[in-house]
Structure 1
Amino acid sequence: MGSIRARANTGKLFIDFRFQGIRCREQTLLTDTPFNRQKLQALLDRIELNIADGTFVYEEVFPNSAKAKSFKQGDVIYPEFGDFAQEWWLENAFRWKKSGKVNMRSILDKHILPRFSDMPISDITKGEVLKFRSALSKLPGRGNQSISNKRINNILQPLKSIMDEASDRYKLESPFKNFKRLPLKKHHIEPFTMPEVIDIIQTADPNYRNYLVVRFFSGMRTGELHGLRWKNVSFQDNYIHVCEAFTYGEMTTPKTNEIRDIQMNSAVAQAMREQEKYSRPYSEYVFCNRKGEPLDNSNFTKRIWYPLLKELGLTRRRPYQTRHTAATLWLAAGENPEWVARQLGHSNTQMLFQTYSRFIPNATRNDGSAFEKLLSNSNQSKLTYGDNNE
């Protein structure tokens, strides 16, 4: 929808509207008065009506406009990528969770828009995309490593979505037609051994021991654990119902296949019983700070996790490796891969075999029982428990 606006430097009014996907601004000599605004608004209303019914001829309304030459009747005027990307964002952003929007916005602002914003969508060819991908490959990645193929593919995905939509609307061939994604390396996992897990739990601040026990032995994702409420814990039936997650400061719902019931082993059940004494009286969340709010992952990682690994002389790795640790300990103990997949929230065992194949023994045992034996052999009494106040 167009608008009537005034230049800050001159105070003169101009008309701001969109035609054929292009933003158009036509200057007038009229000063900013209510009468002049009313006059231009009537003109704008007529313009938008003619645009809607297909009868608008730019050079008839603005014969002296330099832009009028661009809008010859019958020609297709392609919008600049930046304008179309903004339109695409407004049309689609409401469908995404906050975490997805934050990530998408970051990719657009940091990588895609600086490269393509001023280019007409018709000029963005497969060759341009390949040049962009080549430039991305020279960027640094995490730590001292180069950027990963997975990260490059993730950066290109919003560009593909935008250009596929633009190509459909303007009858262009998508630059991503027959475009091959970069091959991905196998998941790099660095799980902890059982002795390392016990050392971490014993050395940790007592306020975080219950949290770490559940984190290491439940296989829950960070957001799932931080968003866990007492109403979703059943001591009677011995399970945790995973149906919520806390990410980017808000509660969200996991994907359908990630909603599941996790069987609590004895270590998790005991830690949850201990934690109940400390947090349940004043918070609906199982693991919370002193205000009763969900734990902040960044705060935990920087203030508790990394210093703890450094103190123990263990390789620095992200807290997410606790989930990999649970999976590898289960599989190494001989648990049924299908049971492990259900615990982790995988829809099938395909990802399990791809990620943890070297940890899967040939023989399997009864669901859950093999890990209980591993806990017993590791002297479960060493897993001391405490409260969890940040």
Structure 2
Amino acid sequence: MGGERPARDSGSPAPKPGASAREISLPRGVKIREFKTERRLQIAFSFRGVECRELLPPRPITQTAANIAGGLRAEVLRKISEGTFHYADYFPDSPRAKQFDIAGKRIMMRTLLSTQLESYERQVTNKTLSPSTFEGYAKAIKSERMQFWADVALGEATPSKLRDWIGGMGITAKAARNLLTPLRSVFEDALNDELIEFNPFDRIALGKLLRQSSKASDYEVDPFTMAEREALLKAARADEQPMMQFWFATGLRPGELMALRWDRIDWVGSKVRIDLNLVSKTEKGPKTEAGIRDVNLNPAALAALLAQKPASFLAGAHVWLNPRTSTAWEADAQIRKTLWQPLCTRAGVRYRNPYQVRHTFASSLLTAGENPWYVASQLGHVDVQLVFKVYGKFIPQDYQRPAGRLLRAGNE
């Protein structure tokens, strides 16, 4: 605070009757703090590696008061040395007391992050948090980068420390935001519990920081050529070929492909209803209403379904089965490791991740001149903006014009 004037420390002569407080002999670790409206005694000590300064209750500053303050400090030091000092017992209203638990230990970030993880686990049990979202949060909390906070006390988690950590991560903005979500929740809870006076996130310009420090994503749309698709289908075994042919013909998300059921096939209308997605071994509806959609089935897709009928139509609800177990797929990692990677090797096709099958479907339609709005509806996107952003280079120039110009051109 402002308005302070220096006070004489220990070693000063005892005051004479009527002498000023400046002549009071202050015991070691005791100081007079002078403010605009009052003067207070303060004691200083170190606890759990934290330098502590505590103001004593207002009272006339006399030699007796100074001696009492020195005695209090001596008692605090003795309790600290014995391991029996409880901060809140002596200074219950001190902000510093909130940095220590009831046993006098510093509140560590590792403890709060662990508590946050337990909270997420309860939310999964209560079905207020999806297992897939929980997996993302758990991965963030247990990540190597988050270990930076393991030995940091809550009181030391300053905005500057947070800013330096984020600025040095060297990952994409999306990855950074995913990592920061549980950490932000920790600080929000600490603020609500009055363990801290402010949320460090509120004192950093996160958007600007991420723009300046995050790296651009190195992921790119890299669709398979017609020759590569033919090579993959030719190299596929009989129990693999129908699913791969259907996937290239529909561009479903991996989870949608794995969750597909026979009763969603409209043979008369040549379309399939997509309303389920397999995520973290749990089938659920899409994240958005746009994800629930009817995907048109071309002759290649219908032929693939007919070829698959003998293998799974009477076996159960799911269309596509893991050839190794003859049971429904449980995770996209299964497809990648047991089917996709070996298939690319057999076909002699340069490896790209399986999601490129979806990109191949979209880019092929756009290259053939399909309307981007139709492609967006088939992919299950909320609007066409993502199609232009991700697949812009595959869209014919006529469709690159603003929508108003497209409508006028169609009426000419």
Aligned to 1:297: 332
Aligned to 1:87: 115
Aligned to 1:281: 314
Aligned to 1:382: none
Output the CA distance in 1 between the equivalents of 2:352 and 2:267. Answer: 32
Aligned to 1:176: 201
Q: How many residues align?
A: 295
Task: Flag the 1:216–1:128 CA change in 2: closer, same or farther, 3 A.
Answer: same
Aligned to 1:99: 132
| C-alpha deviation, 1:135, in angstroms | 4.6
Tell whether 2:153 aligns with 1:120. Answer: yes
Query: Residues 102-156 of structure 1: CA distance to partner in whole angstroms, max 9, x if unpaired?
Result: 221121012355221343333212221233235532xxxxxxxxx5454334323
Aligned to 2:60: none
Query: Residues 27-54 of structure 1: CA distance to partner in whole angstroms, max 9, x if unpaired?
Result: xxxxxxxxxxxxxxxxxxxxxxxxxxxx
Aligned to 1:272: 305
> What amino acid is the match of 1:270?
A
> What amino acid is the match of 1:179?
L
Q: Which of the numbers 254, 267, 273 marks the counterpart of 1:241? A: 273
Aligned to 1:141: none
Task: Please give the secondary structure, in 1, of the residue aligned with 2:397.
Answer: coil
TM-score calculated relative to the size of structure 1: 0.68
> What amino acid is the match of 1:303?
T
Output the CA distance in 2 between the equivalents of 1:67 and 1:101. Answer: 39
Aligned to 1:256: 288
Query: Residues 7-66 of structure 1: CA distance to partner in whole angstroms, max 9, x if unpaired?
Result: xxxxxxxxxxxxxxxxxxxxxxxxxxxxxxxxxxxxxxxxxxxxxxxxxxxx9xx99973
Output the CA distance in 1 between the equivalents of 2:347 and 2:146. Answer: 44
> Aligned ranges for residues 326-341 of structure 1 at < 5 Å?
326-341=361-376
Output the CA distance in 1 between the equivalents of 2:397 and 2:349. Answer: 30
Query: Are the aligned partners of 1:287 and 1:295 in contact in 2 as well (CA < 8 Å)?
Result: no
Aligned to 1:210: 242
Output the CA distance in 2 between the equivalents of 1:287 and 1:151. Answer: 32
> What amino acid is the match of 2:178?
N
Query: Are the aligned partners of 1:243 and 1:254 in contact in 2 as well (CA < 8 Å)?
Result: yes
Aligned to 2:94: 75
Aligned to 2:84: 66
Output the CA distance in 1 between the equivalents of 2:242 and 2:390. Answer: 27
| C-alpha deviation, 1:295, in angstroms | 5.4
Aligned to 1:221: 253
Output the CA distance in 1 between the equivalents of 2:263 and 2:320. Answer: 13
Task: Please give the secondary structure, in 2, of the residue aligned with 1:119.
Answer: coil
> Aligned ranges for residues 3-42 of structure 1 at < 5 Å?
none
Larger radius of gyration: 2
Task: Please give the secondary structure, in 2, of the residue aligned with 1:206.
Answer: coil
Output the CA distance in 2 between the equivalents of 1:326 and 1:211. Answer: 14
Query: Are the aligned partners of 1:245 and 1:251 in contact in 2 as well (CA < 8 Å)?
Result: yes
Query: Residues 252-309 of structure 1: CA distance to partner in whole angstroms, max 9, x if unpaired?
Result: 3321232222121221122112212321111211001344322543233223222222
Query: Residues 205-261 of structure 1: CA distance to partner in whole angstroms, max 9, x if unpaired?
Result: 121111111111211110110111112222122222212122322323321232222
- RMSD between superposed Cα atoms in Å: 2.7
Query: Are the aligned partners of 1:187 and 1:355 in contact in 2 as well (CA < 8 Å)?
Result: no
Query: Are the aligned partners of 1:245 and 1:254 in contact in 2 as well (CA < 8 Å)?
Result: yes
> Aligned ranges for residues 45-56 of structure 1 at < 5 Å?
none
| C-alpha deviation, 1:162, in angstroms | 2.7
Aligned to 2:354: 319
| C-alpha deviation, 1:329, in angstroms | 0.4
Query: Residues 319-349 of structure 1: CA distance to partner in whole angstroms, max 9, x if unpaired?
Result: 1110111110011111111111111111001
Query: Are the aligned partners of 2:288 and 2:382 in contact in 1 as well (CA < 8 Å)?
Result: no
Task: Flag the 1:186–1:164 CA change in 2: closer, same or farther, 3 A.
Answer: farther
> What amino acid is the match of 1:75?
S
Output the CA distance in 2 between the equivalents of 1:211 and 1:126. Answer: 51
Output the CA distance in 2 between the equivalents of 1:168 and 1:160. Answer: 12
Query: Are the aligned partners of 1:223 and 1:245 in contact in 2 as well (CA < 8 Å)?
Result: yes
> What amino acid is the match of 1:216?
F
Task: Flag the 1:91–1:301 CA change in 2: closer, same or farther, 3 A.
Answer: closer
Query: Are the aligned partners of 1:192 and 1:325 in contact in 2 as well (CA < 8 Å)?
Result: yes
Output the CA distance in 2 between the equivalents of 1:112 and 1:295. Answer: 29
Query: Are the aligned partners of 2:280 and 2:331 in contact in 1 as well (CA < 8 Å)?
Result: no
Aligned to 2:233: 201
Query: Which piece of structure 1 moves more, 201-210 or 253-262?
Result: 253-262
Task: Please give the secondary structure, in 1, of the residue aligned with 2:327.
Answer: coil
Output the CA distance in 1 between the equivalents of 2:85 and 2:151. Answer: 16
> What amino acid is the match of 1:260?
R
Tell whether 2:382 aligns with 1:347. Answer: yes
| C-alpha deviation, 1:313, in angstroms | 3.1
Output the CA distance in 2 between the equivalents of 1:295 and 1:85. Answer: 30
| C-alpha deviation, 1:166, in angstroms | 3.0
Query: Are the aligned partners of 2:366 and 2:394 in contact in 1 as well (CA < 8 Å)?
Result: yes
